[in-house]
Chain A
Amino acid sequence: MSARPAGLPRWVDVGLIPACNVALALGVAGLIVLAIGESPWRAIRIMVTGALGQGEAIGYTLYYATNYVFTGLAVAVAFHAGLFNIGGEGQAYIGGLGVGLAMLALDRLLPGWLLAPIGLALAALFGAAWAAIPAWLQAYRGSHIVITTIMFNFLAAALIVYLMVNVLIAPGSMAAESREFAPAARLPMMHEVLGMVGIKVGHTPLNLSIVIAVAAGIGVWLFLWHTPLGYELRAVGHSERAAVYAGIRSRRVVVASLCLSGALAGLAGLNEILGVHHRLFLNFVAGAGFTGIAVALMGRNHPIGVGLAALLFGALQQGGAELAFEIPSITREMVVVIQGLVILFSGALAYWLRPSFERLFARGSG
């Protein structure tokens, strides 16, 4: 997104300044905890033990992180093309719908080893399709991607509420939930996979999606920096006019990058539907699409950074649950507050500290 200005060592630019921004965000969050009348130190201790203290906690942390890797990569890919995809929430929702529809149709007909790849493909395809319309409108009709993807989040929510309440609801069910899939239609849980090779871990929602998430991270890295289309995508992100002048068909690149972005977001739906819940229900994305924005900004749109930021937010999510349990006056939404602060300090105020550091280092070297 931003070129490195002269006069700052690389470790300051990619290490120190982002760390300071996150520290500022956490500092403000600490002040809020203080204002509620609780001790920030105690809160942090509970969150850290809650997120990493034992095997099961780590399993939950990694399960949440899986979603954030997908949605964070989705935002990052679009950012590299100079586009801000706020629609990760809706794309993940529709991706999950794709998985769910396929499973409801096929789960009694096909074996599990065929259902999993079909689910994977449909999650990506549905997510990509939901991003494709805003993408096409951006590229060929000049409508602003931010506004259209916001609108598509609401459209996705309305569509799924309609389908759940009127079409997919299980007969006799009071809640808007589909029937549970047949036992074949689920991704293997990690405690099962690790159990097969002799490693015993506790039962958690962590499933094979995390392996797909790691593969997606490596794939995005290879794609962006080692393929021609990835190069074109970054060129368009740097300067669309220059890219067009160099013979890149920027409109196709815009559509392709947003479809890839949507496909990645859609995979978060795979984790929730085929990995954990094995049925369709309302609101299963639960804000992971928006968390992806914070993850991408904090991870500076690099797959490694996204992975680390996703782990941090996964830990926050899991630790936040423990925190709400231990200190009832602090609710789980504290995690949402921290997300907002991270987006503010790492995103909107990303340039705030830079002049001070530039002055500091100019004096140091001069």
Chain B
Amino acid sequence: MDELLVPLLSTLGATLRVATPLILCAMAGLVSERSGVIDIGLEGKMLAAAFSAAAMAAVSGSAWAGLGAGILTAVMLSGVHGFACITHKGDQVVSGVAINILVSGLTIVLGMAWFQRGGQTPQLPPEARFMPVWLGHNLMVYFALGLVPLVAWVLGGTRFGLRLRAVGENPQAVDTAGISVEGLRYRAVLIGGVLTGIAGTYLAIAQNAGFSRDMSAGQGYIALAAMIFGKWRPWPTLGACLMFGLLDAVAIRLQGVAIAGIGEVPVQLVQALPYALTVILLAGFIGKAVAPRAIGVPYVKDRT
């Protein structure tokens, strides 16, 4: 019994650990995109937050200061995204790509200049990290799990959520009602900043004991995929995050193991599955993912 149960439980635990940054990022993207602003920059914001959090935690010795720095960094980048796309009607995809590329270089440049460790930050002692508090998981894992019902409730059950959804579907209507489209979109984008900041902090000072270059390793894009897979809705998105997390946990377990009847499954195949599944979903072969209607379109107030 135990030989079956122990690996099962450890795989489930690993799934939750891997899925946590995905959930945080996917919820960030969901809030932003439901307001009509595409967020390709999840990856970059998470990576920037990871670097800031690790650097701050290394300098101050406090995990909470690290969290603050991580959130602040990601929120600032969200502000840049908002300034370019909401205020100046710039292309949202281009802005997100810019953030991703900028951060992938800047974290290494600053890391090398400040810490001289090949782009890494110093190893953090346990008191400068978020350590497990209950059942082997740290605070942020539980925060991520609690976030999903919160987002579902805010979007579905509050006035702010209703307006947010409306601004992503039909901004003219919201504008006509005398509510600021730009204000709502800024709030959504900044909420996304806070959540990606927490995700990056989790990567650097909870899951790991410091920053290493490119440590987000495409998880921001997987979160984006999970959000699309969940059709821009909180609970299905959580399901997709857990599924992708499980795939990752299984991929690690499957390394070099032969399965009866199939033989050895290439790790790359399992790693590629989230991307392949998302493409298949987008092709409309597994249900249809319909994006918010006004997504990607800057709102220009008609003054005539």
Q: With A137-B279, A144-B291, A334-B105 known to touch, is A350 a contact of B40 (CB < 8 Å)?
A: no
Q: Which residues of B contact A (CB under 8 A)?
A: 38, 40, 80, 83-85, 88-91, 93-95, 97-106, 108-110, 112-113, 119, 218, 221, 224-225, 228, 266, 268-269, 271-272, 275-276, 278-279, 282-284, 291
Q: With A159-B272, A162-B268 known to touch, is A148 a contact of B279 (CB < 8 Å)?
A: yes
What are 23 of the A-B contact pairs (CB < 8 Å)? A37-B113, A86-B97, A142-B284, A143-B279, A146-B40, A146-B93, A147-B224, A147-B228, A147-B278, A152-B275, A155-B276, A155-B279, A161-B268, A329-B113, A331-B108, A334-B109, A335-B105, A336-B101, A337-B102, A344-B102, A347-B94, A347-B95, A352-B84
Q: With A148-B279, A155-B275, A329-B113 known to touch, is A340 a contact of B268 (CB < 8 Å)?
A: no
Report A130-153 residues with CB < 8 Å from chain B CB: 133-134, 137, 141-144, 146-148, 150-152
Q: With A36-B109, A344-B80, A344-B84 known to touch, is A148 a contact of B268 (CB < 8 Å)?
A: no
| Contact, CB under 8 Å: B282 / A144 | yes
| Contact, CB under 8 Å: A154 / B272 | yes
- Alpha-carbon gap, A335 to B101, bound state (A): 10
Task: Tell me whether A94 is interfacial, beta carbon within 8 Å.
Answer: no
| Contact, CB under 8 Å: B98 / A340 | yes
Task: Tell me whether A242 is interfacial, beta carbon within 8 Å.
Answer: no
| Contact, CB under 8 Å: B225 / A151 | yes
| Contact, CB under 8 Å: B85 / A348 | yes
| Contact, CB under 8 Å: B93 / A84 | yes
Among A84, A144, A146, A340, find the residue whose CB has the most chain B CB atoms closer than 10 A.
A340
| Contact, CB under 8 Å: B275 / A154 | yes
Residue of A nearest to B284 (CB): A141
A152 in complex: contacting residue of B91, B106, B279, CB < 8 Å: B279
- Alpha-carbon gap, A133 to B282, bound state (A): 12
Q: With A150-B221, A159-B268 known to touch, is A36 a contact of B110 (CB < 8 Å)?
A: yes
Report A5-41 residues with CB < 8 Å from chain B CB: 32, 36-37
Residue of A nearest to B107 (CB): A333
Q: With A146-B93, A330-B113, A348-B85 known to touch, is A137 a contact of B268 (CB < 8 Å)?
A: no
| Contact, CB under 8 Å: A148 / B282 | yes
| Contact, CB under 8 Å: B113 / A340 | no
CB distance from B186 to the nearest CB of A (A): 16
Among A147, A154, A155, A293, find the residue whose CB has the most chain B CB atoms closer than 10 A.
A147
| Contact, CB under 8 Å: A349 / B84 | yes
| Contact, CB under 8 Å: B101 / A343 | yes
- Alpha-carbon gap, A164 to B40, bound state (A): 30
Interface size bracket, A side: 35 or more
| Contact, CB under 8 Å: A36 / B113 | yes
Q: With A148-B279, A329-B112, A331-B112 known to touch, is A343 a contact of B268 (CB < 8 Å)?
A: no
Give the chain A neighbours of B284 by CB distance below 8 A: 141-143
| Contact, CB under 8 Å: B90 / A350 | yes
| Contact, CB under 8 Å: B90 / A147 | no
Task: Tell me whether A351 is interfacial, beta carbon within 8 Å.
Answer: yes
- Alpha-carbon gap, A340 to B97, bound state (A): 8
| Contact, CB under 8 Å: B102 / A32 | no
- Alpha-carbon gap, A343 to B228, bound state (A): 25
- Interface residue SS majority, chain A: helix
| Contact, CB under 8 Å: A347 / B109 | no
Task: Tell me whether A341 is interfacial, beta carbon within 8 Å.
Answer: yes
Residue of A nearest to B277 (CB): A151
19 extra interface residue pairs, beta carbon distance < 8 Å, beyond A137-B283, A336-B102, A344-B95 = A32-B110, A36-B109, A144-B291, A146-B38, A146-B40, A147-B225, A151-B225, A154-B275, A155-B279, A159-B268, A159-B272, A161-B268, A162-B268, A290-B101, A333-B108, A337-B106, A349-B84, A349-B90, A351-B89
| Contact, CB under 8 Å: A32 / B109 | yes
Contact with B along A344-359 (1 / 0, CB 8 A): 1001111110000000
- Alpha-carbon gap, A86 to B100, bound state (A): 12
| Contact, CB under 8 Å: B113 / A351 | no
- Alpha-carbon gap, A142 to B283, bound state (A): 7
- Alpha-carbon gap, A335 to B106, bound state (A): 9
Residue of B nearest to A37 (CB): B113
| Contact, CB under 8 Å: B221 / A158 | no
Residue of B nearest to A38 (CB): B113
Task: Tell me whether A339 is interfacial, beta carbon within 8 Å.
Answer: yes
Report A174-205 residues with CB < 8 Å from chain B CB: none
Q: With A144-B291, A344-B80 known to touch, is A337 a contact of B98 (CB < 8 Å)?
A: no
Task: Tell me whether A166 is interfacial, beta carbon within 8 Å.
Answer: yes
| Contact, CB under 8 Å: B283 / A343 | no
CB distance from B94 to the nearest CB of A (A): 4
Residue of B nearest to A337 (CB): B105
Residue of B nearest to A349 (CB): B84
Give the chain A neighbours of B106 by CB distance below 8 A: 32, 333, 337, 340
Give the chain A neighbours of B103 by CB distance below 8 A: 340
| Contact, CB under 8 Å: B101 / A162 | no
| Contact, CB under 8 Å: A348 / B272 | no
- Alpha-carbon gap, A277 to B279, bound state (A): 33
Among B40, B91, B103, B119, find the residue whose CB has the most chain A CB atoms closer than 10 A.
B91
Among A155, A335, A344, find the residue whose CB has the most chain B CB atoms closer than 10 A.
A344
